[in-house]
Copies of this chain bind each other. A is one copy, B any other.
Amino acid sequence: MELIWIVPVSGFVAVLYALWLAWDVLRRDAGTPEMQNVSAMIFEGAMAFLRRQYVTIAILALVTAAIITLIVGGVSEGVKEIISEETGDIVEIKYGEKVVSHWEEGLLTGIAFLVGAAASALAGYIGMYISVRSNSRAASAATRSLSEAITVSLRGGAVSGFLVVALSLLGVSGIFLVYSEVLGNPNSIAPFLIVGFGFGASFVALFAQLGGGIYTKAADVGADLVGKVEAGIPEDDPRNAAVIADLVGDNVGDCAGRGADLFESMSAENIGAMILGVVIYSVTGNLEWIVFPLVLRSFGILATMAGLTSVPFFARRQSSGDPMSPLNYGYYIVSILSVIGLFIATRVMLGDAWHWFFFCGLVGIGTGIAFVYITQYYTSGAWRPVREIADASRTGPATNIITGTAVGLETTAATAITIGFALVASFVLGSNADIPNVPGFSSGVFGTAVATMGMLMSAAYILSMDTFGPITDNAGGITEMAGAPESARHITDSLDTVGNTTKALTKGYAVASAGLAAFLLFSAYLDKVKERLDIPLTESLPIDLSSVDVFVGGLLGVMLVFLFSSLAIRAVGTTAGKIIEEVRRQFREDPGIMAGTSRPDYGRAVDITARAALRQMVAPGLLAVGLPVTVGLIFRFARDGDVTVAGVTYPDSSGWLAVAGVLMIGTIGGIILATFFNNVGGAWDNAKKYIEAGMLQVPSENPGAMTTLGKGTDAHKAAVVGDTVGDPYKDTAGPSLHVLVKLLSTVTLVLAPLFIA
């Protein structure tokens, strides 16, 4: 356990670093009074939304925690110790005495749920607090230089990034420490007891992402439709009552929503990886196998700190060029340092077979980099897909949508092949490790866990780049509304374009991590089922796809991701309708608004959107939690399929089999559908930008000359339709699907006893 000290150290260092970043951003010039005024309105709206959202989530979470405690406590039979028994040369994993009673298990799970939920909420709240305090500072910096604007935006975003990662690391390691050392439970069962933490995190993430995603896109679509289309006023025009709601939306969707998303990714995948380490720990007796994921993440935090600190250096060196380059250089530094950290961690902790897992980690880091490039290819204007969509806009909105859909569907290929390759490669590498008495299957699955954790080493950096997006977007809106000089607007515009790319990258990264993690989380679910059924963890438990339970479960799982997306997309439409009505009402009742003599009531528009969005997030959220539970219960009681493991037949297994089908095949469907939504939305957005930048050219009437089809042309109008359609796809349905996929894992993991007869 030589490296375990690095976990608390890096955790606290990360918190301190985040505090320093916050101090550094907040001490800077907050801009002109006009800028501060706009920023204050955004701050007020964002915080009001968050408060109201957290109250709703808190109520739902408390009820859910109570239900979990009752279900797990009432249904489970308590937890038995996992012991290894040597018979001659062979070590067998068996179950010993019951060490945790069923009510204790229920209570511990319920508490872990609340701790996870609270940590996630805290990270989201503080991160967003700083983010909305940074926007006017970024706007002010943009009046001075590009490099300062990059620094402010990135540091403001990094507060959120580091807090999310640090709180997840400290939370998981802290609750593990308490549940094992303090409460005296065996190390081998503590990972099973803390799964509630992951469920709590994904529960908050689902509602944060859904609520934020619905809010942001409803405000965006609503503001555009009622402002640009109906009233004919430009984007971010102060006469539009929805404009502040729109700027608030960027924060609550991209900053708070995505932060919660990645908080839960890291937490759930970390816990899943620890559960998979239990088998190897039970055989070898080395606790390293359980705590390894924590150590790897700690190295990732240190690597990210170094990389992030280097960005201003790169930004100063080329202050005139593309703002994306310094961010890319920083990412390379994070990647290189992560490889070094991975080397140290595997070499020191994982015994003779370390090099196999080192390669697994490399696969994970490589997958992260691959996704950065894949996403750029499909959503950036420089390449074929976006140009194809821009070109199709010449024949109107219908061909823009058709071509965009074809591009979006196509992008799933690169995603699936990359994830598939990474899974197979890390599984094969891991299963080659040949640890004595550990089945190749167990070390193979652990290999996929190492790949996932390797990929997530750079999570804080990716998340900082993501929160960079709403800050620059807000800064642009503030310069516009506060009447800042043209040059500042030019700088914020170039940052905004980069922000769009980094937001797309984060989504690709989140999908990839969900895909890689699917396998490990699914295996954790199976380990939990084995534990319940007293099947040795080293036995493989087949989930037979040719059984009607698994197949129909899978059919319903894929249906779930489609139906969930339907509800999320429709929620945007419904909420947008409310804000449109409100802006229309204000225009109608106070003609002074349009004339520019009176100020619209921004607060009311913010409020109405918030209330509608929060109401709309409940149905899809409950569907996500409710469907797997319902399927599990129906199959448990209506069917009696059985499963044979090592000659023993386990009857009445339909419940957990169907849930396995929902989980696993629903995950596949969710990953693919989320990829489609994210990429098609990004491509439409950038096709519009491509046309606005005057890059769509067609042969003109004069032979040899070219005509530019830019802003205001019919092609541009068609591209705006595509962009609007893509909004709820890429910012509501897609990101919510990542969370849904991981929520499926945690909800089934925690409620597994419910599905076992």
Residue numbers of A with Cβ under 8 A of B are 221, 225, 229, 392, 395-399, 401-403, 405-410, 412-413, 415-417, 419-420, 423-424, 427-428, 444, 448, 515, 518-519, 522-523, 526, 540-546, 548-552, 554-556, 558-559, 562-563, 565-567, 569-570, 572-573, 576, 580, 638-639, 647, 660-661, 664-665, 668-669, 671-672, 676, 720-721, 724-725, 728-729
Given known pairs A423-B552, A639-B424, the reply for A573 and B399 (CB within 8 Å) is yes
**Contact among B229, B552, B725 for A401, CB-based, below 8 A:** B725
Which chain B positions have C-beta within 8 A of A676? 562
Most B CB contacts (10 A, CB to CB) among A398, A412, A526 go to A398
16 further A-B contacts with Cβ under 8 Å, apart from A398-B725, A409-B562, A519-B548, are A397-B398, A399-B573, A399-B576, A402-B573, A402-B725, A402-B728, A410-B562, A410-B563, A410-B570, A413-B562, A420-B552, A522-B551, A558-B672, A559-B672, A562-B676, A647-B647
Task: With A410-B563, A676-B562 as known contacts, state yes or no: A569 contacts B396, CB within 8 Å.
Answer: no
Give the copy number.
Answer: 2
Cβ-neighbour of A395 out of B225, B398, B402, B638 (below 8 A): B225
- Chain B residue numbers with a CB within 8 Å of A665 are 545, 554, 665, 668
Q: What are 9 residue pairs bridging A and B, where the CB atoms are less than 8 Å apart in the complex?
A: A221-B399, A402-B725, A405-B729, A413-B559, A415-B559, A519-B548, A544-B545, A545-B550, A558-B672
Q: Is A551 in contact with B423, judged by CB distance below 8 angstroms?
A: yes
| Contact present for B570 and A417 (CB under 8 Å) | no
A399 CB contacts on chain B under 8 angstroms: 221, 225, 573, 576, 724
- Contact across chains for A563 and B409 when beta carbons are under 8 A apart: yes
> Are B555's CB and A416's CB within 8 A?
yes
Give the CA-CA distance A522 to B545 in the complex, in Å: 10
A392-B573, A556-B417 known; A551-B519 Cβ under 8 A: yes
Known: A416-B558, A555-B668, A669-B669. A721 touches B398 (CB 8 A): yes
Find out whether the CB atom of B573 lies under 8 angstroms from the CB atom of A409: no
Instruction: Determine the distance from Cα of A420 to Cα of B566 in the docked complex, in whole angstroms.
Output: 20
Q: Nearest Cβ in chain B — how far from A548, in angstroms?
A: 4
A725 to B573, CA, bound (A): 19
Q: Give CA–CA (A400, B725) in the complex, Å.
A: 9
CA distance A307 to B752 in the complex (A): 51
Q: How far is the CB of A161 from chain B (nearest CB, A)?
A: 29
In contact, B639 and A428 (Cβ under 8 angstroms):
yes
